[in-house]
Amino acid sequence: MPKVTIDNIEIEVPDGTTILQAARMIGGDVVPPAMCYYSKLETSGGYCRTCIVKVTQGSAKDPRPMPKPVASCRTPVMDGMVVQNRTAPDLLEARNGVVEFLLINHPLDCPICDQAGECHLQDLSYENGLAKSRYEFKRREFDKIDIGDKIKLHMTRCILCYRCVKVANQLCDGRVHGVLNRGDVSEISTYIQNSVDNDFSGNMIDVCPVGALTDKTFRFKSRVWFTKPMDAHRDCKKCDGKVALWMSNNEVLRVTGRKDTYGELESWICNECRFDKKEVSDWKIEGPRKIDRHSVISQNHYESLRQLKIDVSKQKNIAEKAHQDNK
Amino acid sequence: MSRQLLLEHINTPGIRGIKAFREKGGYSALEKALKTMKPDEVTEEVKKSGLRGRGGAGFPTGMKWSFLAKPDGVPRYLVCNADESEPGTFKDRYLMSHIPHSLVEGMIVSSYALGANTAYIYIRGEMLYVYHILEEAIAEAYEAGFLGKNILGTGYSLDLYVHPGGGAYICGEETALLESLEGKRGNPRIKPPFPAVKGLWQSPTVVNNVETIAAVPHIINMSGDEYAKIGIGKSTGTKLISACGHINKPGVYEIELGVPVEEFIYSDKYCGGIRNGKKLKAVVAGGSSVPILPGEMILKTPTGEPRLMSYESLSEGGFAGGTMLGSGGFIVMDEDTSIVKNLWNFTRFYHHESCGQCSPCREGTGWMEKILHKFMDGHATLKDIDLLWDIQSKIEGKTICPLGDAAAWPVASAIRHFRSEFEDYVRNPEKIKDIKHYYRLNNLQPVS
Ligand SMILES: Cc1cc2nc3c(=O)[nH]c(=O)nc-3n(C[C@H](O)[C@H](O)[C@H](O)COP(=O)(O)O)c2cc1C
Ligand code: SF4
Ligand code: SF4
Ligand code: SF4
Ligand code: FES
């Protein structure tokens, strides 16, 4: 079993483990942010470049450093490899650059975005972003489209992580969903606005790290931080029926899969559970769900929100107004 | 110093057809290799020749071939990269359209060395007329018994196909090329795995440039050791250079590696000097991706030696003081050329051609183009120069494929060597020819 050292912490991992997986085994601060990798989707990762790390020693056999930062999610560890993440200032500078690239064309319309509060891009920009954008040009915009009757695609917010494309290819039958065009006008779309209609297509919403794919049955119903996540389950023939219910006043506003520390689903859930079972009586409730790592929901009703770089209370007001306007 | 191999018979009438080609010794390497040599012996000769990839990176070809995985029961493939789309590069097209059989023969000999029974030529889709020329040459080769089953009774079989490309520069990147050949969107793959292990249809694959493959029959005919005597140092053999820009005689030249740059630009045998008696301002020596160098720096190395047309000499001085031989697209600019405008044009190209998979290239190329457009419009600020520098440094080395670097290097080198010109665009927008033109067109008054 190869041994790898990440930010001065040594760990022994099974053959074929990637640097990112090894870092997650260590946990804590050494884990690089990952916007496109998704352990449950084959061939995911490599696109966003937020997970880059510096390899100062390639392996025990060949101790030369790697000439460029590597994508930790797609680079297997070698025995004797030495990796720097938080301990290399030049790497952090390079990562800030990647985050800036992800943000220059991003609308940052968090106040009216359903993802706000559980958005990985929001988290990433608190941690790695500049206070002020250096981009002075008009941001890219796309029309919102419906892909199927339950999913809304807001392409303007997409960071082209390709996760939903992998869901479409690996979980759904028929290839109806992919990337059109190239470069900075690439867009996620379906084949001639075909609807994505499949028992498992709803998982796209959960894998999307931003607010580009949202649940139309929940859109604008509530801010995430006003809802309480509860673990619940039901007998389901299609999936294991283990979900998170997002409730408010004993009403089920939204159903999602259960996500782990890194925002990944524990299991895929079917569209019936997700979209059609919105009565409390549909579910056996297990108890409150603990959500960590996420900035806003985990702050549990804003006691320590002042610590955050952005002023969420102001955002909340704008958000409420926007919701009224949008109704 | 004027050995001709690839283009020796370019002026022979009918050399496009198999008859004239054979009269000039064509297909003799094929007979020699298939009848008298083992596949590994062919690879060994290529190793000895010191031949380096002519597609841009200059990786030793023999070594690349020996890395090819050879698991039992799995097919192997040779794929020729004929996607030639780098601005300034037009040598492969010239070779293929005039002497198509030199590539066909090279493909057969190389496939034999690699143990491939199926090979592909992936040709840039816009060069449809060359596609037809190759199709015709391949048909002639089948008819002569050089392709198909049991070639010349040796028991070796090979099928060769030409595939027109997807119409994007990125399809020239070898893994994007393989995706495109498989019928998918031409997105570069994330490596590892490398094509030598998992290439076309997940099988071991070698991808080589047209010129690289066309050099192989000459190596077999003359032996690797003899080939290695041509050229200079580790830059062995001859190289096709497509010369363009403000020179008297643009065109494709075959040079022996090691010709002094000065001779290449000024002698009548090659470019014939700068047009209209103007002075040399700058050269982009190896296709639009390589760093631009000012005239005096391209003629002399940092140590004051005359610079030569070779992999080593051109890159002497590293990134700050040198450049690269690249694909051999030699773009010469005279004293009247605007470096800023040229850079804007290059950057526009990379922005347009980015596949969009990875964030730094997808977003950074467009950002740089927009900033350069400000220079062209006459409202850039000095800060924009530093911003450009910062953006390119954040793209370089952070991307999936080298297109990101290719977009960053021209920006870095233009600012490094011609910063004052950028400043001039900021300080005196009204003086700049293109800008005056812009203001005239738009009926505007320059702002002071
Ligand atoms: C964006 C991009 C475009 C490229 N275009 C070409 C091309 O048109 N022709 C080519 O031979 N190599 C091209 N290359 C280089 C190929 O990826 C590959 O290195 C080359 O085909 C290997 O052949 P060689 O070893 O014979 O040079 C390109 C690379 C990049 C990154
Ligand atoms: S996707 Fe995230 S960062 Fe973007 S607007 Fe929505 S909440 Fe904000
Ligand atoms: S829509 Fe969401 S999941 Fe799909 S590529 Fe865009 S950001 Fe990723
Ligand atoms: S560097 Fe550019 S062209 Fe290459 S994979 Fe990334 S986005 Fe695509
Ligand atoms: S998470 Fe590794 S590149 Fe996106």
Q: What is the CATH number of the domain that holds B110?
A: 3.40.50.11540
As for how many domains chain B has, the answer is 3
Ranges assigned E (strand) in chain A: 3-6, 9-12, 52-57, 70-71, 81-84, 145-146, 151-153, 177-180, 187-190, 213-215, 228-233, 242-248, 251-256, 284-288
How far is A190 from A79, CA to CA, in rounded Å?
Answer: 43
Give the residue-averaged pLDDT of A223-230.
87
Domain boundary among B178, B209, B229: B229
Give residue B438's pLDDT: 56
Give the residue-averaged pLDDT of B149-169.
95
Give residue A311's pLDDT: 41
Is residue A297 predicted with pLDDT exceeding 70? no
**CATH number, domain at B274?**
3.10.20.600
Statement to judge: residues B313 and B428 lie in one domain: no
Give residue B115's pLDDT: 97
Q: Within a domain: residue B12?
A: no
Is residue A221 predicted with pLDDT exceeding 50? yes
Is residue A312 predicted with pLDDT exceeding 60? no
Give kind and range of the element (H or E) at residue B391. Answer: helix B382-395
How far is A190 from A215, CA to CA, in rounded Å?
Answer: 17
Statement to judge: residues B77 and B188 lie in one domain: yes
Q: Which residue has the tokens 């390589």?
A: B290
**Structure confidence at residue A307 as a pLDDT band (50, 70, 90):** very low
Statement to judge: residues B132 and B259 lie in one domain: no
The 3-state DSSP class for residue B273 equals: coil
pLDDT tens digits, one per residue of B283-338: 999 999 999 999 999 999 999 999 999 999 999 999 899 999 999 999 999 999 99
Is residue A310 predicted with pLDDT exceeding 60? no
**Structure confidence at residue A292 as a pLDDT band (50, 70, 90):** low
- Reference B391, options A125, A48, A134; nearest CA is A134
Q: Within a domain: residue B9?
A: no
Q: Within a domain: residue B176?
A: yes
Statement to judge: residues B268 and B316 lie in one domain: yes
**Structure confidence at residue A294 as a pLDDT band (50, 70, 90):** low
Give residue A219's pLDDT: 78
Statement to judge: residues B193 and B76 lie in one domain: yes
DSSP letter string, B108-121 = HHHHHHHT-SEEEE
Is residue A300 predicted with pLDDT exceeding 60? no
How far is B7 from B44, CA to CA, in rounded Å?
Answer: 25
A188 lines ligand 3 (CB under 6 A): yes
pLDDT tens digits, one per residue of A87-137: 999 999 999 999 999 999 999 888 889 888 889 999 898 888 777 889 999
Mean of the per-residue pLDDT values of chain A: 87
| Parallel, antiparallel or unpaired: strands B280-284 and B77-82 | unpaired
pLDDT tens digits, one per residue of B76-107: 999 999 999 999 999 999 999 999 999 999 99
Domain boundary among B294, B312, B334: B334
Statement to judge: residues B270 and B326 lie in one domain: yes
Give residue B442's pLDDT: 59
Q: Within a domain: residue B42?
A: yes
Q: Choose among A46, A100, A102: nearest Cβ to B190.
A: A46
Ranges assigned E (strand) in A58-170: 70-71, 81-84, 145-146, 151-153
Domain boundary among B183, B212, B229: B229
A164 lines ligand 3 (CB under 6 A): yes
Residues with CB under 6 A from ligand 1: B 53-57, 59, 81, 83-86, 169-170, 172-174, 207-209, 212, 401-403, 406
Phi-psi region of A263 (alpha: psi -120 to 50; beta: other; left: phi over 0): left
Q: Within a domain: residue B152?
A: yes
Give the residue-averaged pLDDT of A255-274.
94
Give the residue-averaged pLDDT of B250-279.
97
Q: How remote is the CA of residue B64 from the centroid of ligand 4, in Å? A: 23
Other C-beta atoms closer than 10 Å to the C-beta of B167 total 13
Give residue B125's pLDDT: 94
Contact A49 B168 (CB under 8 A): no
Statement to judge: residues B288 and B372 lie in one domain: no
To test the contact with chain B by mutation, choose from A179, A182, A185 the residue with the greatest count of B C-beta atoms within 10 A, namely A182
Other C-beta atoms closer than 10 Å to the C-beta of B118 total 17
Q: Choose among B192, B363, B399: nearest Cβ to A184.
A: B363
Statement to judge: residues B145 and B190 lie in one domain: yes
Q: Within a domain: residue B49?
A: yes
Range scoring the smallest mean pLDDT among A145-149, A285-289, B253-257, B296-300: A145-149
Give me the domain span that covers residue B157.
18-229
Statement to judge: residues B184 and B272 lie in one domain: no
Statement to judge: residues B29 and B154 lie in one domain: yes
What is residue A272's DSSP assignment? I
What's the pTM value of the predicted model, to 2 decimals?
0.91
The 3-state DSSP class for residue A5 equals: strand
**CATH number, domain at B366?**
1.20.1440.230
Give the residue-averaged pLDDT of B155-177.
96
Token pair in block for residue B426: 């900021």
Q: Within a domain: residue B115?
A: yes
How far is B146 from A112, CA to CA, in rounded Å?
Answer: 67
pLDDT tens digits, one per residue of B381-427: 999 999 999 999 999 999 999 999 999 999 999 999 999 999 999 99
Contact B394 A184 (CB under 8 A): no
Give residue A298's pLDDT: 45
Q: Within a domain: residue B276?
A: yes
B205 versus B377: the higher-pLDDT residue is B205
Give the residue-averaged pLDDT of A13-26.
96
B354 lines ligand 4 (CB under 6 A): yes
Statement to judge: residues B225 and B311 lie in one domain: no
pLDDT tens digits, one per residue of B114-128: 999 999 999 999 999
Statement to judge: residues B246 and B173 lie in one domain: no
Is residue B319 within 8 Å of residue B290, measured between CB atoms?
no
Domains within chain A, CATH numbers bracketed: 3-100 (3.10.20.740), 105-132+139-288 (3.30.70.20)
